Amino acid sequence: MTTIPTSPADAPTTVADLRRSGWVSRNVREELRSNALTRIASGRPIVEGILGFDDTILPQLENALVAGHDVILLGERGQAKSRLIRSLVELLDEWMPILAGSEINDNPYHPVSRYARELVESLGDAAPVAWVHRSDRYGEKLATPDTSIADLIGEVDPIKVAEGRYLSDELTIHYGLVPRTNRGIFAINELPDLAERIQVGLLNVLEERDIQIRGHRVRLPLDLFLVASANPEDYTSRGRIITPLKDRFGAQIRTHYPTEIEIENAIVAQEATAVEVEGVTVEVPPFMAEIVSRISQGARASSRINQRSGVSVRTSIANYETLVAAALRRAVRLGEERAVPRPSDLEALVASTIGKIEVEVVEADEDVEVVEQLLRAAVLATFREHAASERGAEIVEAFEDGRVVEVGADVPAIVHVELAASLPALGEIAGDLVGAEAAPELLASAVELVLDGLHLSRRLNKDVVGGRVSYRAR
């Protein structure tokens, strides 16, 4: 029976000990396949912490792993491609034996580098064994036009030459990222950006199992699972990928953005950085979190935004963090115990959104106008979903006598509470959103959503001056 150690402390230290332990050598594809099937059989997802892909991406990835196929993930930015690739490391065995001192994780039973072969020839089963954690069996390279063969495959080490070795000696080679990830997972991000001659060199080591460095040919049968990512537009462009390398991938999986508000909300809640301020409790009403997600979803459907570059989920995360920051600033400035985002804080999201989208035609301040339209549409959709009520007519009627109410980002929550008390219909709708006994800061947020929703429904007028927002009859 194969024994896989839980830590190097109790692991075999020589090849002989390794044989006695019952450890059986298997290639990285077999390892991934076996561990993936174990997870599938137990009902666990093959990767943890990836939301929204359960019924679309993960089944395709499972098929690729079971089939032993190299994978390329196609998708726009911010679709969790890199995170998905890095999560595959958890499907490797926790510890793997190598010949001690090997730069390329030589298999103790089947050494491939000259160093490892000579070690086994001289010491036999007494050759020392070291153990590598699965986190060290992952290599990644962002493909850029200046990526070289030396980066990926290797180069002659001038220091070793200076020590007296010949250029033709394999031991003079300083191995690149690919050989150093032998018996592991190697990932290339943005594959189409890799120069064609580098693609040829990569294909050579993957398919022909040899490398040529400065005219010196080295036979190197590497054991690798290759994963790549690319933008669909670049990947399908003729000439960006050499055909033999493209043919290398057995599975081409198209990723996507969250298709539902609830999933985007869950991703934001999982990924957003929590900010803690002593004496202040941060609380984000569900409808405010929903507005943040609706902004991104609306951007992905907008004809005024370049959809080829995509609208990353990082947009939602950055907007959520900015919204919380705006609420914290107010709470600290006004001495309130709770930091609760309000619709009047949404103006702060122009700065956090504008750098993450590409407006198709940009004139003076057109990008700001596009973002503000997205904000308004998100607020209106959320109002209609959660706060639209027949009692809204009573609120509108209360303004017919010339009433003007002032709320806003720099107005204390108690002002909103008093307003809700003076307009029973407003208080009832807001109370339904956050609860009848809600804290003043929560009620203030709900009050602003109702008023802004009525304005966006063309039932009230709105004036904005600084951090103050005034509502009056049309």
pLDDT digit string, tens, across residues 239-276 = 688 888 888 899 999 999 999 999 999 999 999 998 88
Q: What is the DSSP-derived secondary structure letter of residue 98?
A: E
Give 309's contacts (C-beta < 8 A, 6+ positions apart): 76, 77, 358
Contact of 417 with 440, CB cutoff 8 Å:
yes
Least confident of 118-122, 144-148, 202-206, 266-270: 202-206
44 confidence band (pLDDT: 50, 70, 90)? very high
Contact of 429 with 389, CB cutoff 8 Å:
yes
User: What does the pLDDT read at residue 175?
Assistant: 85
pLDDT of 40 > 60? The answer is yes
Mean pLDDT of 148-152: 85
Classify domain 8-254 at the CATH topology level: Rossmann fold (3.40.50)
Looking only at the bridges linking them, the beta strands covering 95-99 and 405-408 are unpaired
pLDDT of 364 > 70? The answer is no
165 confidence band (pLDDT: 50, 70, 90)? low
445 confidence band (pLDDT: 50, 70, 90)? very high
Q: In terms of pLDDT, which residue wins out, 89 or 204?
A: 89
Contact of 289 with 269, CB cutoff 8 Å:
yes
Place of tokens 């850029």: 144
**Residue % of the chain over a pLDDT of 70:** 91
Give the Cα separation of 422 and 417 in Å (integer).
Answer: 9
Query: What residue spans define the domains of the chain?
Result: 8-254, 261-473
Give the Cα separation of 292 and 284 in Å (integer).
Answer: 11
pLDDT of 212 > 80? The answer is no
Backbone angles phi, psi at 212, to 5 degrees: -125, 115
Q: How far is residue 318 CA from its own chain's centroid? A: 13
Give the Cα separation of 282 and 274 in Å (integer).
Answer: 9
User: What does the pLDDT read at residue 106?
Assistant: 95
Query: 135: which strand partners?
Result: none
Q: Which long-range contacts (CB under 8 A, 24 or more apart) does 416-422 make?
A: 416/440, 416/443, 416/444, 416/447, 416/448, 417/443, 417/444, 419/447, 420/447
168 confidence band (pLDDT: 50, 70, 90)? low
Q: Which of 323, 293, 312 is nearest to 356 (CA)?
A: 312
Give the Cα separation of 323 and 343 in Å (integer).
Answer: 9
Q: At what angle do helices 286-300 and 440-456 cross, to 10 degrees?
A: 40
Radius of gyration of the chain (CA): 30
User: What does the pLDDT read at residue 1?
Assistant: 41
